[in-house]
A and B are shown apart, each in its own frame.
Chain A
């Protein structure tokens, strides 16, 4: 399921002093949507296969918002009847909300049927073999262009890395900032007070975490933070953060913990 590209913009709209008086509030947010990719324009074929697919997990998709990916049928000249398609999906308890990767004509027809056009990235097939060089982690960036020199890349003997993971073996010190784009971040040494570690994926710290850790910064609400010894100043997942003014609570301090999102609530729970 691709994520929408919308950045979590909650903090870009700080509450105005008179915010309570206004009837509306406009906020950006990130949602995970199921994408239905169709490879045929024939609705009967789609319907019969859909019924078959849904019967495998009938509860899972009930009332699920659906985005229809048109990439495979974009160049098929026969027009797709979006009105009928919407009715068909609704009848199966799916909520089509939009389309993506279609042609201009398809977009027009989709909008006429009440569907939004989503400008999401096309869902690419996973690359067959990622060249090793691209699995090389980004250099550590920092507010004042410092770079920790001994960042370790994933071992070179792995021909097909399962995922990109950035591994840092050296202590991350006050004032330093480590960023892992498109990947998880694993730190094997202490993250000291005043340091900041940021990942688009999960964060693991197998040492004391005393600084700030921000996981899922591009909006991945499923991202988690794991650490061996919890003493953090701040933790955040997908923009939901928690600060520990007087240090972490006693029952968590120095413990192995994980941090995750439960709805909008950020949970810090011991790992044992």
Chain B
């Protein structure tokens, strides 16, 4: 019986799709059979970030509307055998995501997968509501800036009120705060909210901090989830996140500005 994880934020451009791609890859690399679903109907991106855009034949909406079988629409990831991508439709709109349809697809996936990662679109409309409705756990992706924190707060309120778990009165969705695009240098300069500020404002447990890095953009553009870049701080930070999610205890890293050492500074490298 799979655990359903929603990756959500309210605000756009904070790193939901990057996180969905890396977290699902991390889970699959550790041997869990994982599916990642793009709920951003009409603005699909996950297939690009996962590098499988040319292999999309059928999509999530086709399956919901019984135009294709689930196994026809699932795309096997090119790096991990355990990972499958269910792409969004680019030509439909988000109203195509009915509660019954999404529930049926998730039920079908639940039997044969360990984890189902739902990549939510921005906003609080139908797509976002459907992505979080069936969730067991939630990653709240937040940038260290006030508008992102405000939107995350809003989406937390919705998780706690309008998800299936809230409506049926069962155990609430387990919430994890993931702070992305964190730049310790800019925090030090007072240009960004500090980690403590974000935690104080949102008041949910922190699962990780992803440092701001050019590697993330390069990874997205090349269609390889950034967690594969195991030499880069952001790739390592995502690996920490997955490990912590699975119960491992790892200290937070990359919270201090990188200090160039004396020799490096001398030679200007």
Contacts and interface: CB of A to CB of B under 8 A. Distances in A.
Interface stretch (A83-91, A129-137, A145-153): A145-153
Interface in A119-161: 142, 146-150
Interface string B151-172: 1011011101110001001001
Contacts of A147: 161, 166
A173 B154 CA distance: 6
A194 B161 contact: no
A14 B150 CA distance: 32
Interface string A175-211: 1100000000000011011110000000000001010
A171 B199 CA distance: 13
Interface in B52-68: none
Interface in B127-174: 150-151, 153-154, 156-158, 160-162, 166, 169, 172
A194 B147 CA distance: 11
Contacts of B172: 149-150
A147 B157 CA distance: 9
Contact of A149 (B150, B151, B158, B161): B161
Interface residues of A, number: 21
A146 B166 CA distance: 10
B201 interface: yes
Interface residues of B, number: 16
Given A149-B166, A173-B154, A189 B161 contact: no
B203 interface: yes
B6 to A, nearest CB: 17
B153 A193 contact: yes
A189 B154 contact: no
Nearest to B160: A148
A173 B153 contact: yes
Given A146-B162, A149-B160, A149-B169, A171 B203 contact: yes
Nearest to A146: B161
A174 B166 contact: no
A161 B186 CA distance: 53
Contacts of A175: 154, 157-158
A45 to B, nearest CB: 60
A53 B53 CA distance: 88
Contact of A193 (B150, B161, B166): B150
Contacts of A149: 160-161, 166, 169, 172
A190 B199 CA distance: 12
A174 B160 CA distance: 12
Interface string B28-54: 000000000000000000000000000
A190 B203 CA distance: 9
A146 B157 contact: yes
B161 A176 contact: yes
Contacts of A192: 153, 201
A84 to B, nearest CB: 62
Contacts of B154: 173-175, 194
Nearest to B203: A171
A176 B160 CA distance: 11
A149 B201 CA distance: 20
A170 interface: yes
A172 B151 CA distance: 14
Interface in A196-234: 208, 210
Residue in A146, A147, A174, A208 whose Cβ sees the most chain B Cβ within 10 Å: A174
A174 B161 contact: no
3 closest residue pairs by CB, A with B? A173-B157, A146-B161, A174-B153
Interface of B: 150-151, 153-154, 156-158, 160-162, 166, 169, 172, 200-201, 203
